[in-house]
Amino acid sequence: PFDAALRTRYGLSPHTLRGNAASALVGAVRVLTGRRPDTEARATALAAAVLAGEPLAGSGDFIVEEGLGFAFLRNSCCLYYRAPGGSLCGDCVLRHPLSGRPAG
């Protein structure tokens, strides 16, 4: 119901909305683990499980490298770069197009 209301009111596509939700989840994990490094293993495992299930499955690539941390590369663009003063987001699909992503 909430996602339908957002789509109706703001014209967001379901694909973009899922990407935004997935990006927000990973951002929250980043803030949590930045303040509480001891939570990283549990938090990234939980995020990976949530991102693998519906409705966020396919919204992007969640990459966890032991000792290096984690990253998220989304499969949609939020179009923030088109807003006045906007830019590409750190996890933007335009930074690493699907066909040009590193193998792994």
In the chain, domain spans: 2-100
Three-state secondary-structure class, residue 24: helix
From first to last of its 104 residues, the chain has per-residue pLDDT tens of 788 888 889 888 888 899 999 999 999 999 999 999 999 999 999 999 999 999 999 999 999 987 778 989 999 888 888 899 999 988 888 876 665 555 44
